[in-house]
Chain A
Amino acid sequence: MDLQTLFEPKTVGVIGVSLKNDRHPANVIYNKNHLRYPVKVFPVNPRGGMLRGERVFTHISEIPQKIDLAVIATRAEQCPEILAECIQAGVRSAAVISGGFTETGRNDLQDRIAVIAREAEFPFIGPNCLGIYSPDHVDTFFLPTERMVRPEKGGVAIVSQSGGILVDQLIKFAEEGIGLSRAVSIGNKALITELDLLGFLANDHKTSVIAFYLEGFGKREGREFVLAASKCPKPVIVLKGGKSPGGSKAVSSHTASLAGDYESFSAVLSQYGIVEAKNEFEMVCFCESLSCYQKSIEGKIGIVSGSGGHGALAVDACFKRDLPVPTLSEQTVKEIRESLSPSVQLIASLGNPIDLTGSGVDDDFVAAVTSLSRAPEIDCIMVLLLPYLPGITSDLGARLSQIHQQEGKPLVAYVPHVEKYRMLIEGFELNRVPVAHSVEGAVQMVEAMRRCRSC
């Protein structure tokens, strides 16, 4: 199955537009694509007529051009027939937005559309989903444009079993400056599953990190998924919803009781080097970190701060996650000490964490980060920046990022996320250095890099 036309269609038919109700999901989808995306969109409704001065086609087969993507937003009962019509008309793919299938007990309807599509090798996403958002290409979400928060374009693809979680993650991505390549809501996944999308995204040159929100796999699908993900050259992140067991099941053996559904799920992900985000915050931090760094590390962190307290909190968070914060070698300490400004030289504490104190200036941070970049005992640097200190300027983000670019060692930063410090944050982010909005978040970013491999 070729999924390319789902993500980058040139022609789109929106089936089920209303001539009376402009807030109908199909109308929202038609309007946003018509006005904002580089696709030719055709509205379809069996009654025909005109919509915003454009002809409404009574059938998809009437449209004079070959349709790459049909967006189907009709009542569920009409879907099998419409899908068959699309196939007949040579449409290349579809997104079935309509609800009213297995989620309401209509397994028969869902089976029918799956069988029709499978026989014709016709790819469709859904049903009961938002479909696909490919920045600058197409958007089948039935959410009015002005209500959506769109992240910048970038390398993270996110696939979600829940449309709500997906849209929410997009807001968080936008807040954190995480770039998006594709967003997919797969709904009831009657035909296209996580496994198919993993296959597509692994080869998608716009995507460098693949994130999934999922609630569960079908029989043995989990096995296929992890085996495929372990061969994927890009980091794969999974957040699972529904971890708690649904009621107590009687189990006849210790193993069955100890190896519950979620325990197995979590163990298998880590066995195959798939990064499991335990909650939505980790999901965001992991996506941000792995979109900048795809190489796995041991996580030997060197911490630089201008405050002893920040260093202490960071070490605590590292300890909790079993991330080593090694003692710096005498040579590293000597090198840093010699390159600090005279007033800081006397008062800085050069353990790990390094505390450059409230008197530290940009040059001191540059000196410490440069030395850590060359210290073999460290494989990752965390800078906890307090932009309110008098010696820190908004240039520091870009200057430290430059060291990372020259020396190649992963660097993560913490900067309080308020508008006032935006330039400092952008100095990092625009140079592809991830910035967390909490100390804990910075530690999670390092953990992502460590987890991203087979254990």
Chain B
Amino acid sequence: MLRKESKEILANSRDRGWVLEPEAKHLLSLAGLNVPKYVWVKSFEEPARFVNQIGYPVVAKVVSPQLLHKSDRGGVVVGIDTDAKLEEAFRQFSAFEGFDGILVEEMLSGVELIIGAKIDYQFGPMILLGIGGTGVEIYRDTSLRMAPLCQDDVQSMVSALKARPLLEGYRGTEPVNLGELTLMILAFSDLVMELEEFVESIDLNPVMCSADTCVVADARIVLRKELIPE
């Protein structure tokens, strides 16, 4: 069952039509998906404690209800490793329309995947797995299944990718943790079945997968227009 907290996030986002990234990540973490350590801050002084705890480098992203595709507009800065750079990012982002603070996150490494969902008119909830990043629609290396998924489905989705060797360890790189990836996709599939009435589509892109773990680095939840959550 969808938690009360998750329902509130959906209800608060309905006018905007999509869920702000920090709230989307909170909703995902409630469903058992790994998200990076992050703080959502409104002033530049605040991230200090967070940076002290996890250390540089970090990623900074603008939070704005008017910006669904933030990386297309230069709203993401990666590899920030000094206070000065963080301040510069903050200064830049404050100029964005609808500025509502910045998200400071730990830097992640690994293979970039996309895990997505779409509520299909004919088939209902569908899950997508593919090679992620900003080039997803260029490479189009994806596999699709009808949810809910079982473990075998996930295995066959991974096998169907052209870039499968990248996940299994290619030319000396370590294989990604397929067990963790499977758990994440299964948890996501369960979540999507519960969100069916509320959402239109979801992009978890990129999901950073390494030998240790898989973490959702960015999330976009687009809500259904016609039906409104209670």
Interface residues of A (CB under 8 A from B): 216-223, 226, 251-259, 261, 263-265, 267-268, 271-272, 455
Determine which residue in A217, A221, A259 has the highest number of CB atoms from chain B within 10 A of its CB, and name it. Answer: A259
Cβ B122 vs Cβ A223 within 8 A? yes
* Known contacts A252-B68, A253-B203, A271-B145, A258 near B122 by CB under 8 Å: no
Q: CB < 8 Å: which of A216, A223, A255 contacts B124?
A: A223
Using an 8 Å CB-CB cutoff, how does the interface string of B96-129 with A read, 1 for contact, 0 for none? 0000000000000000001011101111101010
Min CB gap B131→A, angstroms = 11
Would B205 and A254 count as touching, CB distance under 8 A?
Answer: yes
State A270–B224 Cα separation when bound (angstroms): 28
A residues in contact with B114, CB < 8 Å: 254-255
Q: Which of A218, A221, A255, A263 contacts B201 (CB 8 A)?
A: A255
Q: Give Cα A253–Cα B137 distance, bound, in whole angstroms.
A: 10
- Using known A-B contacts A223-B123, A226-B123, A264-B122, determine if residue A254 contacts B144 with beta carbons closer than 8 Å: no
Within 8 A of A (CB), among B138-170: 140, 142-146, 153, 156
CA distance A306 to B99 in the complex (A): 74
Q: Which 10 A-B pairs have the closest CB atoms?
A: A255-B116, A222-B122, A267-B144, A256-B201, A253-B201, A217-B122, A222-B123, A259-B118, A253-B203, A268-B146
Give chain A nearest CB distance to B139 CB in angstroms: 10
* Inter-chain contact A221/B203, CB cutoff 8 Å: no
- B121–A271 contact, CB under 8 A? no
Bound Cα distance A256, B200 (Å): 8
Distance to closest chain A CB from B120 (angstroms): 5
The answer for the CA separation of A267 and B142 in the assembled complex, in Å, is: 11
B18 beta carbon closer than 8 Å to chain A: yes
A258 in contact with B145 (CB, 8 Å): no
- Among B116, B121, B123, B128, contact of A268 (Cβ-Cβ < 8 Å): B123
List 20 A-B pairs, Cβ < 8 Å.
A218-B122, A219-B122, A220-B122, A222-B120, A226-B146, A252-B18, A252-B201, A252-B222, A253-B202, A254-B203, A255-B202, A258-B140, A258-B144, A259-B116, A259-B120, A259-B142, A264-B146, A265-B122, A267-B146, A455-B156
A317–B196 alpha-carbon span in the complex (Å): 41
Measured in the bound complex, the distance between the Cα atoms of B160 and A100 in whole Å is 45
CA distance A410 to B76 in the complex (A): 58
Given contacts A253-B116, A253-B201, A255-B116, contact A261 B122 (CB under 8 A): yes
Contact between B220 and A267, CB atoms less than 8 A apart: no
Judged by a CB distance under 8 angstroms, whether B47 is at the interface is no
Q: Mark B17-34, 1 if CB is under 8 A from A, else 0.
A: 010000000000000000
**20 other A-B residue contacts (CB within 8 Å) besides A222-B123, A256-B222:** A218-B122, A219-B122, A220-B121, A220-B122, A222-B122, A223-B124, A252-B201, A253-B202, A253-B220, A254-B136, A258-B130, A258-B144, A259-B126, A261-B121, A267-B126, A267-B143, A268-B144, A268-B146, A271-B153, A272-B146
Contact partner of B136 among A219, A258, A272, CB < 8 A?
A258
The CA-CA distance from A412 to B102 in the complex, in Å, is: 65
Closest partner residue, chain A, to B153 (CB atom): A271
Most chain A beta-carbon neighbours within 10 Å: one of B18, B68, B121: B121
Residues of chain A with a CB closer than 8 A to B120's CB: 222, 259, 261, 264
Interface residue range, chain B = 20 to 34
Residue in chain A with minimal CB distance to B130? A258
Q: Determine how close the nearest CB of chain B comes to the CB of A213; give it in whole angstroms.
A: 16
Across-interface contacts of A220 in B (CB, < 8 A) = 121-124
A264 contacts B18, C-beta separation under 8 Å: no
Q: In chain B, residues 7-61, which have Cβ atoms closer than 8 Å to a Cβ of chain A?
A: 18
Bound state CA distance, A317 and B30, in angstroms? 49
State the CA gap A219–B124 with chains docked (Å). Answer: 8
Report A255 CB to chain B, min CB distance, Å.
3
Question: Which among B117, B120, B128 has the greatest number of chain A C-beta atoms within 10 A?
Answer: B120
Q: Check B118 against A264 for contact (C-beta < 8 Å).
A: yes
Contacting residue for A264 out of B144, B200, B202, CB 8 A: B144
Q: Which residue of A lies closest to B120 (CB)?
A: A264
Q: In angstroms, how far is the closest chain A Cβ from the Cβ of B138? A: 11
- Tell me the minimal C-beta distance from A402 to chain B in angstroms: 38
| A134→B144 CA distance, assembly (Å) | 38
A191, B107: Cα distance in complex, Å: 56
Report Cα–Cα, A199/B141, bound state, in Å. Answer: 36
Asked if A255 contacts B118 (CB within 8 A), the reply is yes
Distance of A269 from chain B, by nearest CB (Å): 10
Chain A residues in 8 Å Cβ range of B203? 253-255
Chain A residues, Cβ within 8 Å of B68: 252
Q: Report the separation of the CA atoms of residues A258 and B131 in the bound assembly, to the nearest whole angstrom.
A: 12
Residues on the B chain within 8 Å of A253, using CB: 116, 118, 200-203, 220, 222
Max count, chain B CB within 10 A of own CB: residue among A218, A221, A265, A268: A268
Q: How many Å lie between the Cα of A199 and that of B68 in the bound state?
A: 45
Q: Could you tell me if A254 and B116 are in contact, using CB atoms closer than 8 angstroms?
A: yes
CA distance A257 to B203 in the complex (A): 11
Do the beta carbons of A258 and B142 come within 8 Å of each other?
yes
B193 shortest CB reach to chain A, Å: 12
Across-interface contacts of B140 in A (CB, < 8 A): 258
- Smallest distance from the beta carbon of A227 to chain B beta carbons, Å? 9
In the complex, A78→B122 CA distance in Å? 32
Alpha-carbon distance between A86 and B116 when the two chains are bound, in angstroms = 51
**A219 close to B145 (CB less than 8 A):** no
